[in-house]
């Protein structure tokens, strides 16, 4: 099969992940976008591993490492999300302005969800 088939799928998955990270308001949905992007990268690694016929299987091994790092990342990120929920009562990334500049906050005050 042509090498660009898996690369095309990976590119589309990555772009969909970018849209998810940018457009979603719920922090957990943002994390799902990140997972999609990581999977796109993994697909690239596996495709090039198959194409180059790497004796050491560097691509597949690195894919395993990326999966482990993604698991560590999701564990930490969900701990942070739960902490944000406990302190703010919501996990809407648009409304988390406590680290923003106060002047900007006055100009563009987001509508609070009930």
104 belongs to the binding site for another protein (CB under 8 A)? no
100 belongs to the binding site for another protein (CB under 8 A)? no
- The nearer residue to another protein, 85 or 104, going by C-beta atoms, is 85
- CA-based torsion, 39, 40, 41, 47: positive or negative: positive
In the complex, minimum distance from the CB of residue 38 to another protein, in angstroms, rounded to a whole number: 9
Q: Give the contact letters, 59-78, x = binds to another protein (CB under 8 A), - = no.
A: -xx-xxx-xxxxxxxxxx-x
Q: Helix (H, G, I), strand (E, B), or coil: what is residue 92?
A: strand
95: region left, alpha or beta (phi > 0 left; psi from -120 to 50 alpha): alpha
CA angle 98, 85, 104 (to 5 degrees): 20
Q: By the criterion CB under 8 A, which residues form the site for another protein?
A: 1-9, 11-20, 22-26, 28-29, 31-33, 35-36, 39, 42-43, 46-47, 49-51, 53, 56-58, 60-61, 63-65, 67-76, 78-83, 85-87, 91, 94, 113
């Amino acid at each position: 099969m042509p090498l660009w088939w898996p690369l095309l799928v990976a590119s589309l998955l990555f772009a969909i992940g970018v849209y998810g990270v940018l457009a979603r308001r719920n922090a957990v949905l943002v994390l799902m976008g990140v997972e999609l992007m990581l999977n796109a990268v993994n697909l690239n690694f596996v495709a090039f591993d198959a194409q180059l016929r790497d004796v050491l299987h560097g691509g597949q091994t690195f894919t395993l490492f990326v999966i482990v790092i993604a698991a560590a990342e999701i564990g930490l990120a969900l701990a942070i999300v739960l902490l944000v929920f406990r302190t703010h009562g919501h996990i809407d990334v648009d409304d988390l302005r406590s680290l923003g500049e106060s002047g900007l906050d006055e100009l563009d005050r987001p509508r609070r969800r009930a």
